[in-house]
Amino acid sequence: TRIGLAGLAVMGQNLALNIAEKGFPISVYNRTTSKVDETVERAKQEGDLPVYGYHDPEAFVQSIQKPRVIIMLVKAGAPVDQTIKTLSTYMEKGDCIIDGGNEWYENTERREKAVAELGLLYLGMGVSGGE
């Protein structure tokens, strides 16, 4: 696929389905694998949409065309850092993480610097307010 989405709570799941509905195949991943299965099932029910689910983070990252773009919609704080750590292990220079969570700007700046050291791009673009 050309794009991936990690984090399949209400906002992430609906964004993935919306992207697929517009004709863009999308790979999806969530730490809780039942969310992956639920999203893929919804995609089938809503018109056999091109949503491809992955339980394994490495397989998820490898399923995305280079340079990779991964939208991340996970709960602010430590879960964001853990997701970045998990996914960046399999990403390559020039790949991009778009953080769609609403995060404190200093955390966004810290993460941007940290992933830049790995040769990755990081865009903080809060679209989800969380709880």
pTM: 0.94
Task: Please say whether the beta carbons of 120 and 88 come within 8 A.
Answer: yes
Res 40: pLDDT? 99
Q: What are phi and psi of 27, to 5 degrees?
A: -95, 140
- Which pLDDT tens digits describe the chain residue by residue (131 residues)? 999 999 999 999 999 999 999 999 999 999 999 999 999 999 999 999 999 999 999 999 999 999 999 999 999 899 999 999 999 999 999 999 999 988 889 999 999 999 999 999 999 998 865 54
The predicted structure's pLDDT at residue 131: 45
Alpha-carbon gap, residue 2 to 40, rounded angstroms? 17
**Class of CATH domain 3-128:** alpha beta
